Amino acid sequence: MAREYDFASIEKKWQRFWEENKTFKAVDFADKPKYYVLDMFPYPSGAGLHVGHPEGYTATDIICRYRRMKGDNVLHPMGWDAFGLPAEQYAVETGTHPEVTTQKNVDNFRRQIKSLGFSYDWDREINTTDPGYFKWTQWIFMQLHKKGLAYLDEVAVNWCPALGTVLANEEVIDGRSERGNHPVERRPMKQWMLRITEYAERLLQDLDELDWPEGVKEMQRNWIGKSVGAEVIFKTSAGPSVTVYTTRPDTLFGATYMVLSPEHPLVKEITAPECRAAVEAYQAEAAKKTDLARTELSTEKTGAFTGAYAINPVNGVKIPIWIADYVLISYGTGAIMAVPAHDTRDFEFAQKFDLPIKCIIAPDPEAAKAEGVDVAAVLAGKACWTGEGKLINSANSDGLALDGMSVRESKPAATRWLAERGLGREAVKYKLRDWLFSRQRYWGEPFPIIHYEDGSIELVNDSELPVNLPEMEDFKPSGTGEPPLAKAKDWLNYTDPATGRKGRRETNTMPQWAGSCWYYLRYIDPKNPDQAWDPAKEKYWMPVDLYVGGAEHAVLHLLYSRFWHKVLFDLGLVSTKEPFRKLVNQGMILGVSYKDKRGALVPTDQVDFTPNGPVRKSDGEALVEFPAKMSKSLRNVVNPDDVIREYGADSMRMYEMFMGPLEATKPWSTKGVEGVFRFLKRAWRLVAQSEIVDVPCTPEQLRVLHATIRKVSQDLDTFNFNTAISQLMIFLNEFSKCDRVPREAAEKFVLLLSPFAPHIGEELWSTLGHAETLAYEPWPVWDEKVLEVNEVEILVQVLGKPKARLMMPVDADQEAASKLALAAPEVQAALGGKPVRKVIYVPKRLVNIVI
């Protein structure tokens, strides 16, 4: 009799075996289908993993193990996204060099990940802070620069004083930093920029070809923000013309004022002397706000009149020019024509500053009624209408007649009229802005850039890569915007080895996103000292077949990676125009938190657990339990080390997949882990402690076995891990009733279980007499003929009351079903000799006898 299920020794044994034998080593150019599975590699923080982190890794590991058994050549790598703010902030606070803390954190993360038995090819491990890696990050930047996609510009940036660095728009949420939640302000600074806008249309169009969640694709579409409209030229009373971009050229007759962005270069030129003080004061206030704060719909409208007027090109009417912070210099032309009768923001602005409101779209009566809008008020300029309708008050004596047209008909007509007279043209605009690529921090990739004394800016030679970070004791940000690298005088000063020209190195560093933009390509050829990757290997492995990670990266990493990949494709350096064929987003695993009757949060270590529920330790007040995101502040983080120590890695892996659909948000429950642990102990008893016999399965056993093979296989193909595990439980329940277990059933059950719980799978396979690992055993195949049902259980009722359950042929007709039902002893007893008036037969379900 085999020993009891000792998960601790079993898991250590097989993790050691896999590592020593390089069981999961991916083979370049293998003669079988390739399958590249990628995890969003982690940032190795000092806190280590919590139980939410491995959810996606577990899902990919299950798929990888399944695909290997299906005959695929699987590439499944892991690495570390290790540059960035957190390590530097910790270094600043503690005086420990970020390289030291980063290495310590990486070692801890690697230990934790290995303890879960994931089937990574550890020979391909990468680290973005390794000079052998960021050498090629710098090299890719050089290719971007040579292609004219990297440039230096003075721009209004999001400056975070607390972090001492500039942040991209995508890293600012509601005017505060995404990391640390610090206030962010706008200030002009000279920064490196990447022309991602050059790829806006391709980034948009190629989304249609990707097998990604529609929600992520829609987020990228909205971020890119394509709009088709017209650029319209307005002459001004001050002399220069102003070009306005509008998506609604059909509403020109309703334009009653113009708004320029406070940063618009013409503001200074057109502002009247008597208005200059108010305009400059307003510009100073607007400069303190982020773009997101300025465009928030609920924000109260503010502005300043310039004293200048524009001439409406369709009717010659003079309209006042204002500046207002709800117009951004970074979108369109930085100037809008305001149509307050048909735009909510313009309407609010016009009401506040008592500006004219002219209706030029008569609302559709039914639509207005449905929305509770008073048509008469709209026509009188007392209410705003943004819906459909027919144009009115929209004709002039120069051939433009839009009255009676729909919005769809009038747009091209208005644009055509403008173009014919040289007053405008059709234009396409995007909300997407060029990528701000500089950071004023130490712990990042140095730019391979030299600023020479003669004012020229040049790339270093390829032979000088990598440009390493200097050793520095003081790497704190200055708080003024001057990067820490400016203090490294020996490193900073540069002399060209060929010409002797003198210059200074670039002191900004690249953002953390740089290293993660292309890491999936380095996994293909991670040790290559001469190339970022071997072109033949790239052609074999790319694109990534499955990418699993959080939806929060939709408009950051995923968009940036697509941009870099398309540039590399244009340069002939990669063979595919998109990097990631299929994307799956895992949901969040929540921790358990507590609050008192006033709603105040109570950290977990201040809670006592009583038979009547959780109470506060200090005063015994009853607390309410609720799920919340795991965080150190709530002290509700569950460490996987603790779970593995108590229940084993296989139990934790299976529980995380059994909690619910992969993409759903789910609360953690230790009791749930206990349930899965009991299942694995029962699985152990079935295979390791039962009598395994070389006899065929009974027809019913065979049906259960093949139903399980089919269900688990189909669910793995669709990432429905929780229902696959449910089917394994059904199998176990059925076969646990057997005194002796057929070998065929035991072996195939172990193979089906192994992707979910690989350690116990390997041990049970060995127990069944196999000397080799099961990692490459053929995946079981089901037989549909076995699953065909010849008989079905039928409920028999007398006067609607259940009396018997009988097996009947699946194709039994009315006559055959009636005979079988009436012959049953239970039915005969219920009839008591009374005559049968009618027999109602519902095929495959029931027989009801009426007496």
- What is the side-by-side strand order in the sheet with 150-160? 165-167, 150-160, 185-194, 435-436
Give a yes or no: residue 693 inside a domain. Answer: no
Distance (Å, whole) CA 163 – CA 178 = 11
CATH of the domain at 124: 3.40.50.620
* Residue 190 and residue 252 in one domain: no
Only one residue has tokens 């303190």, namely 288
309 and 418 both lie in a single domain: yes
| In a shared domain, residues 175 and 300 | no
- Bridge partners of 796, per DSSP, are 804, 847
Residue identified by tokens 């010409």 is 499
CA proximity to 579, closest of 33, 203, 214: 203
Residue 635 resides in a domain: no
CA 535 to chain centre: 29
pLDDT at position 176: 84
Mean pLDDT split into 10-residue runs, the chain, 851 residues: 86 98 97 97 89 95 98 98 86 86 95 98 98 98 98 86 78 79 83 96 97 96 94 94 95 97 95 97 86 72 96 96 92 93 95 96 92 94 94 95 94 96 95 91 96 95 96 79 89 93 96 96 98 98 97 90 98 98 95 88 85 89 88 82 96 97 92 95 96 94 96 97 97 94 97 98 97 98 87 89 89 90 90 90 92 89
Same domain, 283 and 419: yes
How many Cβ atoms are within 10 Å of 223's Cβ, its own excluded?
20
E strand intervals along 729-845 = 740-742, 791-798, 801-809, 838-842
Q: What is the pLDDT of residue 60?
A: 98
CATH label of the domain that carries residue 332: 3.90.740.10
Q: Does residue 569 sit in the same domain as residue 483?
A: no
Alpha carbons 104 and 102: distance in angstroms, whole number = 5
* CB proximity list for 422: less than 8 A, separation 6 or greater: 233
**Cβ count near 233 (within 10 Å):** 17
468 with 530, same domain: the answer is: no
Rounded Cα gap, residues 225 and 428, in angstroms: 10
- Is 303 in the same domain as 412? yes
Beta-bridge partner residues of 310: 236, 319
Helix axes 758-767, 670-688, angle to 10 degrees: 10
Looking at residue 479, what is its pLDDT?
A: 66
Residues 402, 195 contacting (CB under 8 angstroms)? no
Q: Which helix (H) or strand (E) holds 365?
A: helix 365-370
Specify the pLDDT at position 129: 97
Helix (H) or strand (E) holding 279: helix 276-286
For residues 11 and 24, what is the distance between their CA atoms, to the nearest angstrom?
16
Residue 291 lies in a domain: yes
* DSSP per position, 503-568: EEE---B--THHHHTSHHHHTTSTT-SS-SS-HHHHHHHPSBSEEEE-GGGTTTHHHHHHHHHHHH
How deeply is 651 buried, as exposed, middle or buried, from its count of CB atoms within 10 A (0-12, 13-18, 19+)? buried
**What is d(CA 680, CA 62) in angstroms, rounded to the nearest whole number?**
17
Residue 2 confidence (pLDDT): 64
**Which helix (H) or strand (E) is 63 found in, with range?**
helix 54-69
Domain assignment present for residue 683? The answer is no
Domain match, 179 and 66 both = no
Q: Answer yes or no: is 135 a known binding residue.
A: no
pLDDT single digits (tens) 266-303? 999 999 999 999 999 999 988 877 776 777 766 788 99
Are residues 109 and 80 part of one domain?
yes
369 domain residue, yes or no: no
As for how many domains the chain has, the answer is 5
77 located within any domain: yes
Q: Taking CA 211 as the corner, what is the angle to CA 206 and CA 215, rounded to the nearest 5 degrees?
A: 85
625: which strand partners?
594
> Do 275 and 421 have their domain in common?
yes
Is residue 677 situated within a structural domain? no
pLDDT at 252: 97
232 and 342 assigned to the same domain? yes
pTM: 0.87
**Pick from 420, 370, 375: which is nearest to 400 by CA?**
420
In a 10 Å sphere around its CB, with 0-12 CB exposed, 13-18 middle and 19+ buried, how is residue 542 labelled?
A: buried
- Residue 443 within a domain: yes
Taking only Cα atoms into account, the Rg of the chain, rounded to an integer number of angstroms, comes to 35
Give yes or no for a contact between 224 and 205, defined as CB atoms under 8 angstroms apart.
no
Q: What pLDDT shows up at residue 46?
A: 83
| Full residue range of the structural domain in which residue 442 is found | 147-195+436-505
Q: Are residues 261 and 131 part of one domain?
A: no
Question: Alpha helix locations (H) across 70-213?
Answer: 85-94, 98-114, 131-146, 200-205
